[in-house]
Amino acid sequence: MKILAVVAIAVLSACLAGAEETELGDAWKEFFPKGATLTKVDGLKKNDKAYQVTGPEGEPSGWVFRTDRMAPRVRGFSDQIGILIAVSPELRIVGMKVLRSRETPGYFRRLRSTFFKQFEHHPVTHLHENVEAVSGATISSTAIIRDVSRSTTNLLGQLDLLDRVLDSKGKPAAEKK
């Protein structure tokens, strides 16, 4: 009986060790170099989860997180939409991918790749000023814009990185040449 308990604990521990990566699946890998690895970011607020990405040579490659694992929670038409967000070391959106949605399929299909491409390469703050909602899927697209903007701002604030992208008045900092 004791041996069975020890084996069960070992199996459970092995499963939990890989839970961080399986929570994101392999979706994050399409945005970062081959051979990159994830490390959970420690010290975030309770229930917030994010991961630092390290390149194959040990160089910092950015961060990745799910909007449904980072405050604040933003609801679409039916529920919160779980979107994987990849952020570069320059604090720009590298890419994003919907991992979970309970939105009405007919309306949600209107959010074509062109909607999501609007986010790419934008600084992570003030996205709501640069990304347009989609007519016919206004509630869902507006929720995604708010969720991405607020969750990335939350993460950068917790990492003390907001000053790199905002000036003293809370406006986007001037682009460095």
DSSP codes joined into one string, 141-175: HHHHHHHHHHHHHHHHHHTT-GGGTB-TTSSBPPP
- pLDDT computed for residue 52 by the predictor: 93
Task: Flag whether 155 is in a domain.
Answer: yes
- pLDDT computed for residue 112 by the predictor: 76
- pLDDT computed for residue 26 by the predictor: 87
- pLDDT computed for residue 85 by the predictor: 92
Task: Flag whether 46 is in a domain.
Answer: yes
- pLDDT computed for residue 39 by the predictor: 92
Query: What is the C-alpha to C-alpha distance for residues 62 and 103, in angstroms, rounded to an integer?
Result: 29
Task: Flag whether 171 is in a domain.
Answer: no
Q: What DSSP state is assigned to residue 136? A: T
- pLDDT computed for residue 162 by the predictor: 61
Task: Flag whether 57 is in a domain.
Answer: yes
Task: Flag whether 175 is in a domain.
Answer: no
Peptide bond between residue 33 and the one before it cis (omega within 30 degrees of 0):
no
Task: Flag whether 177 is in a domain.
Answer: no
* Chain centroid, CA 12 distance in Å: 27
DSSP string, 97-124: EEEE--S-HHHHTTS-HHHHHTTTT-BS
State which residues form the domain around 36.
2-164
Query: What is the C-alpha to C-alpha distance for residues 161 and 45, in angstroms, rounded to an integer?
Result: 16
Per-block mean pLDDT, blocks of 10 residues, the chain (177 long): 40 37 79 90 89 92 89 70 89 89 79 84 76 84 86 87 54 47
Q: How many domains does the chain have?
A: 1
Task: Flag whether 93 is in a domain.
Answer: yes
Are the C-beta atoms of 31 and 94 separated by less than 8 Å? yes
Task: Flag whether 108 is in a domain.
Answer: yes
CB atoms < 10 A from the CB of 164, how many?
15
